[in-house]
Amino acid sequence: MSHYITSKMSNPLYFRVLNRNLARFCVKNVRKASTQTHGNEKETHFGFETVKESEKAKKVHEVFENVAQNYDVMNDAMSLGIHRVWKDIFLDRLSPTKNTKLLDVAGGTGDIAFRFLNHVKNSNQEENCHVTVMDINSNMVEVGKIRSEALKFDKSVISWEVGDAECLPFKDNSFNAYTIAFGIRNVTHIDKVLEEAYRVLQPGGRFMCLEFSHLPNSAAQWVYDQYSFQVIPVLGKLIAGQWQPYQYLVESIRKFPDQKNFGSMIESAGFRSVTYENLTLGVVAIHSGFKL
């Protein structure tokens, strides 16, 4: 810890950081913890592995390219089906109404988008509603399209895009709701994703994120860790024929900022009324903020 503080004090930018608000201070610390600089090139984490920033996106892309066909089956196996309840609660908290234009980022196989469309239909709020599903991985998007056709969703209420969450291919103020579920921990620059979310949302628009998080109880966290590292990669091998992608997924959860630090990052991007809600003791958390 003392070495970390000494390193910070030797950096002239440190004193400028001290004069910023608390939220931005937290973001800087999270960023410092997750990246480091060697020469002219930054490094970041890929699970517990340290890689060049320029390599992470490719590695993450390969992970999801390899597991796309078995992604939903593995979600059921890893979470014992609880991920379905988490996503239902997530949409319930969003509470979409008429005229909702939703952008679902990292939405590949359509789980959130389909829930959104069913929610507005079942609550008689489907008038002028539309969801755009975007994912960086074309294989995931293709799986989503096939599922959408099988479920007979009207193509006029859902569209699909391949794109990068750090550089969205949409104009400013294009949507009034933005969701990202179990995707933001896989990006290289979380701050850029949040800034882009803020940019494409209309004033009054809502940002919502569902993501694995940290359990406040150390004993419960230990049990969760044992399950994650000892069981999930084995399930990946048995069901998907590969354990490495699921080892990465487990490691990426442990590297993601905790609830309070991630909340500070959301505030730093400009969002207000930022809150979080723990589900299943904090295994996952719902984060929310508004563009005000």
- Alpha-helical runs (H) found in 95-237: 111-122, 138-150, 190-200, 218-230, 232-235
Distance CA 226, CA 252 (A): 15
Q: What pLDDT, in 10s, does the model give residues 205-243?
A: 999 999 999 999 999 999 999 998 888 888 878 876 777
284 contact partners, CB below 8 Å, separation of at least 6: 86, 210, 211, 212, 213, 278
Mean pLDDT over the full length of the chain: 82
pLDDT digits (tens, 9 = 90+) for 240-257: 677 777 787 888 888 899
Same domain, 70 and 39: no
Last residue within a domain, chosen from 54, 80, 96: 54
Where does residue 226 rank: exposed (0-12), middle (13-18), buried (19+ CB within 10 A)?
A: exposed
Residue-wise DSSP of 261-283: HHHHHHHHTT-EEEEEEEEGGGT
Residues 37-55: tens digit of each pLDDT: 445 567 664 455 565 665 6
Q: Assess whether 44 and 136 both reside in one domain.
A: no
Establish whether 109 is an annotated binding residue: yes
Same domain? 46 vs 65:
no
165 is in an annotated binding site: yes
Per-residue pLDDT tens over the stretch 182-200: 999 989 899 999 999 999 9
pTM above 0.85, yes or no: no
Count of structural domains, the chain: 2
Same domain, residue pair 26 and 50: yes
Q: How large a percentage of the chain has pLDDT more than 70?
A: 75
Does 23 show up as a binding residue in the annotation?
Answer: no
pLDDT, tens digit (0-9, with 9 covering 90-100), for 112-126: 999 999 999 999 999
Given 12, 36, 54, which residue is the final one in a domain?
A: 54
Domain of 30 in residue numbering reads as 2-54
pLDDT score of 36: 43
Shared domain check, 28 and 157: no
Are 126 and 239 found together in one domain? Answer: yes
Burial of 187 (0-12, 13-18, 19+ CB in 10 A): buried
Residues 250 and 126 placed together within one structural domain of the fold = yes
Asked if residue 113 belongs to a known ligand binding site, the reply is no
Query: How far is residue 151's CA from residue 121's CA, in Å, rounded to a whole number?
Result: 14
Shared domain for 197 and 78, answered yes or no, is yes
Q: What is the CATH number of the domain that holds 274?
A: 3.40.50.150
User: Beta strands 101-105 and 175-181: pairing type?
Assistant: parallel
Whether residues 108 and 200 share a domain: the answer is yes
Q: What is the pLDDT of residue 233?
A: 85
CB distance 91 to 123 below 8 Å: no
Percent pLDDT > 90 in the chain is 59
Same domain for 168 and 212, yes or no, is: yes
Instruction: Give the amino acid at 218.
Output: S
Lowest average pLDDT, out of 3-17, 70-84, 253-267, goes to 3-17
Q: Could you tell me the CA-to-CA distances from 40 to 11, 53, 58 in Å, in that order?
A: 16, 11, 20
Order of strands across the sheet that contains 49-52? 35-38, 41-46, 49-52
Same domain, 257 and 128: yes
* 18 and 121 inside one domain: no
Look up tokens 């992970």; give the residue: 63
